[in-house]
């Protein structure tokens, strides 16, 4: 497909309509990208990732966020690349590092994603049946969704939206138990232990360090849920 055909298809294609993706999201330019040149760069990335999780958390905070942030902290942050937990959390949370396609594709390839994006003569290709191709345009990206001989074109309005699309494609959108048929007996068996854990955590939420965090979080987030 030559450049004139790409522009023609892009102008006629509808915007990509995937839900749950923060299209057009701003990125934070001073977050270091892997490969990191020092432990301090890796530590900065991990700290910002944990802070991002805390800010998108609807809890006060939720136990799940506390657990994931503890795991990120305990794994250590000294190598040139992300460890798998950091990468998984990065793509599942749409972490706003200033990714380039080359940098994120490299991390996905290094982590062993067999259908990770690859640069093929100036365009990006990823996944298989369906497979996707991204063509760069002046305004964003033309996405060719190809499956069993058919082609469906959509457009991405912002250059950074390609990274968000990859994050959406390489994550599980409906993990267990959300949206799954859960055995009632299992719910009952786990219900009382879970209630005991929740009660203990509720007491911890009243401690001064978490009260201080909630105040700082409220002051740092924009209004209007959460606004532009």
How large is the average pLDDT for residues 66-85?
Answer: 89
DSSP notation for 25-88: ----TTS--SSPSSHHHHHHHHHHHHHHHHHH--SSS-HHHHHHHHHHHHT---SSS--HHHHH
- For residue 225, pLDDT beyond 80: no
- For residue 28, pLDDT beyond 60: yes
- For residue 195, pLDDT beyond 90: yes
Residue 218, classified by CB atoms within 10 Å of its CB into exposed (0-12), middle (13-18) or buried (19+), is exposed
**Predicted local distance difference test score (pLDDT) of residue 223:** 62
Distance of CA 187 to the CA centre of its chain: 29
Number of helices (H), then strands (E), in the chain: 8, 5
Confidence band, pLDDT 50/70/90 cuts, at residue 228: very low
Nearest Cα to Cα of residue 165 among 175, 154, 177: 154
Give tens-digit pLDDT for 83-112. Answer: 999 999 999 999 999 999 999 999 999 999
- For residue 44, pLDDT beyond 80: yes
Q: Is 150 helix (H, G, I), strand (E, B) or coil?
A: strand
137 within 8 A of 6, measured Cβ to Cβ: yes
Q: Which helix (H) or strand (E) holds 170?
A: none
Give residue for tokens 């401690």: 207
Lowest mean pLDDT among 69-73, 90-94, 139-143, 224-228: 224-228
- For residue 82, pLDDT beyond 90: yes
Confidence band, pLDDT 50/70/90 cuts, at residue 168: very high
How large is the average pLDDT for residues 71-83?
Answer: 87
211 within 8 A of 61, measured Cβ to Cβ: no
Residue, of 13 and 225, whose pLDDT is higher: 13
Question: Structure pTM?
Answer: 0.90
């Amino acid at each position: 497909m030559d450049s004139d055909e790409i522009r023609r298809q892009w102008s006629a294609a509808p915007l990509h309509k995937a839900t749950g993706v923060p299209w057009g999201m701003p990125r934070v330019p001073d977050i270091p990208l892997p490969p990191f040149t020092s432990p301090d760069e890796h530590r900065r990335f991990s700290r910002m990732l944990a802070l991002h999780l805390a800010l998108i958390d609807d809890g006060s905070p939720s136990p799940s966020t506390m657990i994931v942030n503890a795991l990120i902290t305990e794994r250590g942050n000294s190598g040139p690349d992300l460890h798998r937990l950091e990468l998984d959390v990065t793509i599942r949370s749409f972490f706003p590092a200033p990714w380039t396609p080359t940098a994120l594709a490299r991390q996905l390839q290094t982590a062993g994603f067999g259908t990770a994006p690859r640069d093929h003569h100036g365009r990006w290709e990823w996944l298989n049946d369906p497979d996707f191709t991204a063509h760069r345009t002046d305004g964003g990206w033309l996405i060719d969704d190809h499956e069993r001989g058919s082609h469906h074109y959509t457009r991405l309005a912002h250059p950074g939206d390609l990274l968000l699309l990859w994050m959406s494609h390489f994550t599980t959108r409906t993990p267990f138990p959300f949206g799954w048929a859960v055995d009632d007996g299992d719910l009952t068996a786990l219900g009382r232990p879970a209630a005991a854990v929740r009660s203990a955590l509720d007491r911890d939420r009243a401690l001064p360090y978490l009260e201080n965090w909630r105040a700082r979080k409220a002051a740092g987030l924009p209004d209007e849920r959460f606004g532009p």
